[in-house]
Copies of this chain bind each other. A is one copy, B any other.
Amino acid sequence: MSSEFGEKIKVSIFGESHGEAIGCVIDGLPSGVRLDMDKIYADMSRRAPGKDKFATPRLEKDIPHILSGTLDDVTTGAPLAMIIENTNTRSGDYGNLLTVPRPSHSDYPAYVKYNGFNDIRGGGHFSGRLTAPIVFAGAVAKQILEEKGIVIGAHIFQVGNAFDKAFDKNNVSSDLLKKLTSNNFSVIDDNAEEKMREEIESARMAQDSVGGIIECAVIGVPVGVGGNMFSTVESKLSSILFGVPAVKGVEFGEGFGFASMRGSQANDPYCVKDGKVAVKTNNNGGVLGGITTGAPIIFRVAIKPTPSISQPQQSVNLQTMEEETLVVKGRHDPCIVPRAVPVIEATAALGILDLMT
């Protein structure tokens, strides 16, 4: 039962939503990497709430504070520990007695698993806030990967019934990825943003929430990364992606679309390009037999609608064992998909770095 990811670059995440601090330890980093703190802050800011009316208004000052593992912003090779202090916790607001679990949150199974001892204030260790240290760790990983010519970027492919253009699977440019990662609302087709914002606003007005899909691309990974059987690129990435709260599906390349395809359509023929072997199409999303082909790694992640909605919902009072109507108070983020984009990029970076170390 672990909040840790990775075999060579191990990331251990800790903290609770309303505890004293959240943070992470990154063990196994190479020494001598100069961290560009501005880039780290930029990614963390993309994830941070409170940027506009669509997001949760509670102001978090997610300032990462590095405790060890660097000297003058250069990694020493020792474990890098980072904390973010929780400054706005108002612990008086919550008791720690779970009486009526919120539907589709972790409340009830966590209550059973931890015999009621888990910290439920703000979701405790299950809070989406814990993705902040993931983004931090991923931003560090991204910088190490960038030195190897690897660039990662993601965009919102779908929110409710609004869609962005998909990546051209065999032709993703570094410029496009940089555009996406410099944006708080990352879309390829600028027209998609308005439609998506309408979906979100419509959900918000209905005291509801809405889900979506994020599509991510990793370019520059050489041929031959990953492995057979249980060390496939897909195994590695999915295992960390499904650690991100609200992720309920992961597919590579055509993914579920393969089900209605014929082999003759699905197969990616080889050609010679710039004197090298290349795929003519990239339906497999850059991975064959679990190993990278040199083509862009493309995957999609399904994000369920955030379960926190203001509408009355049916639940059960765990003390009385009576069914009860629950109204979750407070203002809620009607769609976490935009803020989840840098989290998905971060997990991709951590997974790829672990595979390449």
On A, residues with C-beta under 8 Å from B are 1-5, 7, 10, 12-16, 19-23, 25, 27-28, 31-32, 66-69, 71, 74-81, 83, 96, 101, 103-110, 112-115, 117-119, 124-126, 130, 158-161, 203, 206, 208-213, 223-232, 234-236, 238-243, 245, 247-272, 275, 277, 279-280, 283-285, 288-294, 300, 302-309, 311, 313-316, 318, 321-323
- Among A71, A79, A241, which residue has the most Cβ atoms of chain B within 10 A? A79
Q: Find out whether the CB atom of B311 lies under 8 angstroms from the CB atom of A264.
A: yes
Q: Hey, which chain B residues are within 8 Å of A288, CB to CB?
A: 104-106, 108-109
Q: Hey, which chain B residues are within 8 Å of A289, CB to CB?
A: 105-107, 109-110, 126, 245
The number of times this chain is found in the oligomer is 4
C-alpha spacing A135/B183, complex, angstroms: 45
C-alpha spacing A23/B69, complex, angstroms: 12
C-alpha spacing A306/B2, complex, angstroms: 36
C-alpha spacing A291/B265, complex, angstroms: 38
Q: Hey, which chain B residues are within 8 Å of A12, CB to CB?
A: 4, 10, 12, 25, 27, 79
Interchain CB contact (< 8 A) of A228 among B3, B7, B252: B3
The A interface is mostly helix, strand or loop, or mixed, namely mixed
Q: Find out whether the CB atom of A271 lies under 8 angstroms from the CB atom of B323.
A: yes
Listed A/B pairs (11) with beta-carbon separation below 8 Å: A23-B81, A31-B115, A71-B96, A78-B124, A106-B290, A108-B288, A109-B224, A211-B260, A211-B261, A232-B242, A249-B249
C-alpha spacing A292/B112, complex, angstroms: 10
Nearest-CB residue, chain B, relative to A161: B260
C-alpha spacing A301/B64, complex, angstroms: 38
Given A14-B78, A76-B117, A249-B258, 14 further pairs, Cβ under 8 A: A1-B77, A1-B226, A14-B81, A23-B67, A109-B223, A109-B293, A160-B259, A213-B259, A234-B242, A234-B248, A238-B239, A249-B256, A251-B256, A277-B321
Q: Find out whether the CB atom of A125 lies under 8 angstroms from the CB atom of B76.
A: yes
Nearest-CB residue, chain B, relative to A287: B109
Nearest-CB residue, chain B, relative to A211: B258
Interchain CB contact (< 8 A) of A231 among B1, B119, B126, B203: B1
Interchain CB contact (< 8 A) of A4 among B27, B69, B318, B321: B27
Q: Hey, which chain B residues are within 8 Å of A212, CB to CB?
A: 259
Chain B nearest CB: distance from A180 CB in Å? 19
C-alpha spacing A10/B16, complex, angstroms: 18
Q: Hey, which chain B residues are within 8 Å of A284, CB to CB?
A: 104, 248, 304
Interchain CB contact (< 8 A) of A124 among B19, B76, B203, B239: B76
Q: Hey, which chain B residues are within 8 Å of A74, CB to CB?
A: 117
Q: Find out whether the CB atom of A108 lies under 8 angstroms from the CB atom of B270.
A: yes
- Among A107, A208, A321, which residue has the most Cβ atoms of chain B within 10 A? A208
Interchain CB contact (< 8 A) of A263 among B32, B119, B210, B224: B210
Interchain CB contact (< 8 A) of A230 among B3, B254, B259: B3
Q: Find out whether the CB atom of A213 lies under 8 angstroms from the CB atom of B117.
A: no
Interchain CB contact (< 8 A) of A27 among B3, B75, B259: B3
CB-CB under 8 A for A76 and B236, given A249-B256, A256-B302: no
